[in-house]
Structure 1
């Protein structure tokens, strides 16, 4: 490389406003929506920032999600996590036909019919969290009192995990997402998490219950039958995806509403807007902040650019969800927005399996929060809020709030 040539930039990470993606993404979407970028392993690939290109790339039949083909933008994975046999059942790192097999076995647990059966229990969990907040009195940390426990208890019950074990595995989940973690640390944490789930699977094989993991172990549709290692891989993914995304959306989503008091007032005055509010908050606060990497397995065209087999793409979900060609006035939070084809749950064969469960959790949680605490407000200045900009899933670590008459 000559002195006049420059390496492509890495994925922008620094935000000037904590509620908005890095400004460089907006500039790239405007001037060069398919641009060269450098991944964490120093390989070069393509960054996609326009909604149409992101959607097309994620739906393309010859792209791969496997870490061996799709490097990460901000950190290197441990060698064993890039290997061909990394944790069978971990769907987000898998391609067909293996991905197809596991997803088919899981789909029946996440249909609308199945989720509707869970809804009364989710309402109970939300009500219990609100009762505890009310009994404690403000100020409280909404993350610890509300955003974390609701989806955590839901996923624990769904999977048959003892809620008492939550501190151990939540610490592992948080450290696995740390963008500063070394490959060696990630490998050790991954092994520890896998063993935690393997031990749980072995216990359920001995004493099955009426939960997801027990049913997967005995599923007659699984031919051949799933091994404990396969069920453990599914379990690790469900635990991370089923809790982290919903919990962080509840935290940052509530903060976003409180920072936009006109929108909080709209929801308070018309709780029927909660469905639209959920979709708009998912769009506005796209918390999978690094986007989705994909490996290109056959030559293809993206946004007028020829991309060769062996190269990698990064589909920036935060940039796509602020695309003005699709979302008028995209930086404005508008819970009355009618047309909202956001990509917060991804697209294509890896479209989030638990998205309807997440939607039900968020609808129930925000509906309950607004009704119980219509005067909810921040109890700390913005500089006291700690942002999860060091994690794969963006959000806030704390959110002090209070309610009632100001004194």
Structure 2
């Protein structure tokens, strides 16, 4: 760990779910012993307003209750026409340009970035600023000073944005949270800023990486991709399988014990840190048959790609809708899509908590 302290690792699905649902486990990154995996100066950490994913009940409950109505399956389904329009525009631009293109820059970055900015009511021309912040906060090869500066700068920007929306109501996710809070009064401005920061963290890099990695994996399995083209009804299963198979936030879920707890006969003492490996849980052979094999027809009752328990990713509905539209449209409009470089030349990200690709050169 960055602190040099030893931590526990849990790998089985039942162990991971035990950790993520136990009241003896805290998500509070400020607590001694929490296994912080990115470099934040302690003076910044201790004064930072915690995002909802780093809170415990009852504070977590209040903030998540403010957020969840905005991310329901019904609301995300209502975004389908706009998401389809954005995806079509970018794929049309790819076709007009002709291959090869970098799918990261041509599709995987701009689509979720644009949708996220529209969802939040953020000016589109600020996309690059938000992306730079999101990427800085998940890297492990940056300095604590860089993370601290990025965190402070983004909180200052978001505070101004929230203040503007308090004065002039807007019909977007952030605007509606602010409007409800004006009546309910459960959150302070700093709490809403922290919520916005958390959404920023989860709204950019994750979907981008799933688009690129998911596309690459499907291209590596041409027989299953052909099945998917012939039978688009397989797409929901395929997306769940890709989420399980890739588990891009494998080690991002961490906790610290607030009291002694025993997991599978092992005593974990209060103050000791734990990292729950979601990717390992999703390859647990006691749960998934032949877990290291991609199978788009696999029946999955439940996986851990979005975490588990009260901190399960609130944006899961949006992720599923975006991935379904992107993959269906991409492979139907460009059926001859293929790698533009040998597979051993594909470049992957390193020193980051969220797995992904630096680029994905494709042609047709």
- The answer as to whether partners of 1:287 and 1:394 remain within 8 angstroms in 2 is yes
Match of 2:296?
335
- The answer as to whether partners of 1:78 and 1:183 remain within 8 angstroms in 2 is yes
| Structure 2 SS opposite 1:251 | helix
Structure 2: 5+ residue stretches without partners: none
Q: In structure 2, which of residues 226, 238, 243 is the aligned counterpart of residue 282 of structure 1? A: 243
Q: In structure 1, which of residues 33, 36, 41 is the aligned counterpart of residue 3 of structure 2? A: 41
Which string of whole-angstrom CA distances, capped at 9 and with x for unpartnered residues, describes residues 151-184 of structure 1? Answer: 1111111100111111122122212222111222
Greater relative contact order (CA < 8 Å, ≥ 6 in sequence) = 2
Match of 1:65?
27
Quote the Cα distance in structure 1 between the aligned partners of 2:17 and 2:248: 17
| Shift in Å, 1:42 | 2.1
Q: Which one has a larger percent helix, Structure 1 or Structure 2?
A: 2
| Shift in Å, 1:109 | 0.7
| Shift in Å, 1:44 | 2.4
Match of 1:253?
214
The answer to which of 123-132 and 220-229 deviates more is: 220-229
Aligned-pair Cα RMSD in Å? 1.7
| Shift in Å, 1:385 | 2.2
Quote the Cα distance in structure 1 between the aligned partners of 2:41 and 2:346: 32
Match of 1:77?
40
Which string of whole-angstrom CA distances, capped at 9 and with x for unpartnered residues, describes residues 268-291 of structure 1? Answer: 121111101101111111111323
- The answer as to whether partners of 2:181 and 2:187 remain within 8 angstroms in 1 is no
Matches within 5 A, 1:181-220: 181-220=142-181
2:320 counterpart of 1:359: yes
- The answer as to whether partners of 2:38 and 2:139 remain within 8 angstroms in 1 is no
Q: In structure 2, which of residues 191, 205, 208 is the aligned counterpart of residue 230 of structure 1? A: 191
TM-score of the two chains, using structure 2 as the length reference: 0.95
Q: In structure 2, which of residues 280, 293, 309 is the aligned counterpart of residue 348 of structure 1? A: 309
Quote the Cα distance in structure 2 between the aligned partners of 1:80 and 1:204: 30
Matches within 5 A, 1:309-320: 309-320=270-281
| Shift in Å, 1:393 | 0.8
Quote the Cα distance in structure 1 between the aligned partners of 2:19 and 2:182: 32
Quote the Cα distance in structure 2 between the aligned partners of 1:277 and 1:110: 22
Q: In structure 1, which of residues 53, 56, 71 is the aligned counterpart of residue 15 of structure 2? A: 53
Change (3 A) 1:278 1:287: same
